[in-house]
Structure 1
Amino acid sequence: MQKKTIKTTLEKSNHHKLSIQFTLDGFSFCITNLDSQETIHFCAYTFPKTLETPEKLVAHFETIFQEDNHLQEDFKEILVIHQNSLATLVPNKLFREEHLKDYLDFNIKTLKTDFFAFDNIDQLAAKNVYVPFVNVNNYLFQNFGEFEYQHSTTAFIKKLLQTTSAPGKTMFVDVWKDQISVVVLEDKKVLFSNSFSFTSKEDFIYYLLFTAEQLELNTNEFPLFFTGDILEETEIYKITYQYIRNVDFLRSKNPIFMNSSFSNHTHFILLG
């Protein structure tokens, strides 16, 4: 397991917020001083390989939780973010809470044992329906009590709307291992949002070009900003630049990156 940390001076306080993001590839968390709104600690754990089940994720986290003193605080607020591809957006006018499973069944295969949840995204007049890691939620509730949780797509969209201004049609792509979350904005309006799995660079560029074609975006003109696990020297970046000319990273202004070896477009959902 790989651990990367941005260390800062961290004093015990009851005015700290814990934000923690889970995937089957690992998890990362940051601690924020609620008085100053400053990010005062960040840590990312990456597993050697993708875990097969959420149950194994809980087992790994339980071990780390007992060893990492930064997770032992009495936090004022806690936000848990579930990152997976088991989500879909539903307009408010079509939404019925008793049909959560039906919405997801249009796009993915769900199980009888799955638990379904939804987030309100007021800016879209829509709900994000998804399958959270319920085992993770149960473990955290046992150790922290009540907390807020949401899907990574919800967090990504809200963070983009808070921190960016896109007067023209602009594509934002958050990359994590073999998944991407694609959002297209225009004047603070979400035109498109979806997640895709990829196994090759050809898969990767196909989904970006497919999205561009659906929205009639000129690949020589529209801006595309990457966040997450991607660098200029990676093959997926290189092939993107072959087909889409206006490519850049969405760089965070969070001061914590000044003390870090992390690129400032990474971990956007937590640190953007």
Structure 2
Amino acid sequence: MNTTHTHFRLSHKIQDEAFDLSQASNCNLYLSLGHKSVRAAVVDLNRNKFVVLEDFELLTVFTPVQVAEQLQLIAADNPLFQVKNWKNIRVSVSNTHFTLVPETLYDEAHKEDYLRLHSQVNPQHDVVLSHNHSGLEAVNIFSVDVAIHDAVKEVFPEQSVQLVHLTSSLIRSILHQVGRNESRQICAFVERNYVTVLIVSQSGLEFCNTFHYLSPEDFIYYIIFVMQEQKLNPEQESITVWGDITHDSTLFSTLQKYIRQVKFGKKPSDLEYSYKFHDLFEHRYFELYSLHLCE
């Protein structure tokens, strides 16, 4: 497999020695399509264990069409994408085009109308989909760029693929992990130039939104803005973070400057992970692990 290309490079790869592609019929394949990354993971369902992880960094990509093109190039000679008998394939898409609607008010025939209240929807460029959160009694309505939607279908032409929004997997996993405590808790999932902020409490999910940032100042502005709007005092609260952020990053030091306590989140605890995953930071690849909980 070609691991380096003009527009992408394989930055991390893990594969358990006990895994073989002949076991695919008893495994799930998960993909997360970010603005600057394509990531894949495999779960052995018999052992409820993550056994494969591949992380491709997209180097010169600026539009969804380019992400779609790089996905197809990565898939062209990657054995994971050649397999035709995965038990399930689940793909998360990251963008700012989503909205949550109470299940009792949701009408499938009007999902585009719901989304138009929050995002621009272009029928020529967007495919509008939905995901039901039964535990929340809510429906996540989101759009996927048609180029990405079609690329996923072309990569897996003979298999059923479940497309979900990144926020659906985050909501499901964070509520599962944090639980419904009496105290309100603020959480953040960090991507390159994007941050998703969530607030959960005893009543469940109270807030979820994704913001585009270009600098550490933008980054902290959105988080503090949300805290103030939600009547959370940064000087008294703690925040839990996952994703592409490290202890020695400017983003982390900026958080520490404004918020009393900054904690790194952990990976979902009800799953097993190959020993080869133990060297990874617990808060990394949370979006991939969370897809296992997002049914």
Corresponding residue SS for 1:115? strand
Q: How does 1:115-194 map to 2 (within 5 A)?
A: 115-142=127-154, 143=156, 144-165=158-179, 167=181, 168-187=183-202, 189-194=204-209
CA shift in 2, pair 1:259/1:189, >3 Å:
closer
- Give the % identical residues: 20
The TM-score normalised by the length of structure 1 is 0.92
CA shift in 2, pair 1:259/1:150, >3 Å:
closer
Alignment correspondent of 1:109: 120
Q: In structure 2, what residue type is equivalent to 1:117?
A: L
Q: 1: distance between equivalents of 2:180 and 2:217?
A: 27
Corresponding residue SS for 1:123? coil
Alignment correspondent of 2:230: 215
Q: How does 1:1-272 map to 2 (within 5 A)?
A: 1-3=8-10, 4-9=12-17, 10-11=19-20, 12-13=22-23, 14-54=25-65, 56-73=66-83, 74-113=85-124, 114-142=126-154, 143=156, 144-165=158-179, 167=181, 168-187=183-202, 189-252=204-267, 253=269, 255-256=273-274, 258-259=276-277, 261-271=279-289
Aligned 8 A contact 1:169 1:222 in 2: no
Q: 2: distance between equivalents of 1:127 and 1:204?
A: 28
State the Cα distance separating 1:259 from its structure 2 match: 4.0
Q: 2: distance between equivalents of 1:264 and 1:182?
A: 19
Provide the alpha-carbon RMSD of the alignment.
Answer: 2.0
CA shift in 2, pair 1:50/1:188, >3 Å:
farther
Corresponding residue SS for 1:6? strand
CA shift in 2, pair 1:166/1:50, >3 Å:
farther
State the Cα distance separating 1:90 from its structure 2 match: 1.6
State the Cα distance separating 1:251 from its structure 2 match: 1.8
State the Cα distance separating 1:135 from its structure 2 match: 3.3
Q: Structure 1: where are the runs of 5+ without partners? A: none
Q: 2: distance between equivalents of 1:257 and 1:251?
A: 16
CA shift in 2, pair 1:204/1:139, >3 Å:
closer
- The CA deviation string for residues 67-115 of structure 1, in whole angstroms up to 9 with x for no partner, is 1113222211111111111111122243333332332333322223122
Aligned 8 A contact 2:127 2:149 in 1: no
Q: 2: distance between equivalents of 1:41 and 1:151?
A: 22
Q: 1: distance between equivalents of 2:67 and 2:227?
A: 35
State the Cα distance separating 1:45 from its structure 2 match: 0.5
Aligned 8 A contact 2:220 2:254 in 1: yes
Q: In structure 1, what residue type is equivalent to 2:120?
A: K
State the Cα distance separating 1:257 from its structure 2 match: 6.7
CA shift in 2, pair 1:257/1:267, >3 Å:
farther
CA shift in 2, pair 1:245/1:49, >3 Å:
farther
Q: 1: distance between equivalents of 2:224 and 2:135?
A: 26
- The CA deviation string for residues 48-77 of structure 1, in whole angstroms up to 9 with x for no partner, is 1333233x2222122211211132222111
State the Cα distance separating 1:200 from its structure 2 match: 1.3
Corresponding residue SS for 1:119? strand
State the Cα distance separating 1:183 from its structure 2 match: 0.9
Aligned 8 A contact 1:82 1:133 in 2: no
Q: Structure 2: where are the runs of 5+ without partners? A: 1-7, 291-295
CA shift in 2, pair 1:60/1:224, >3 Å:
same
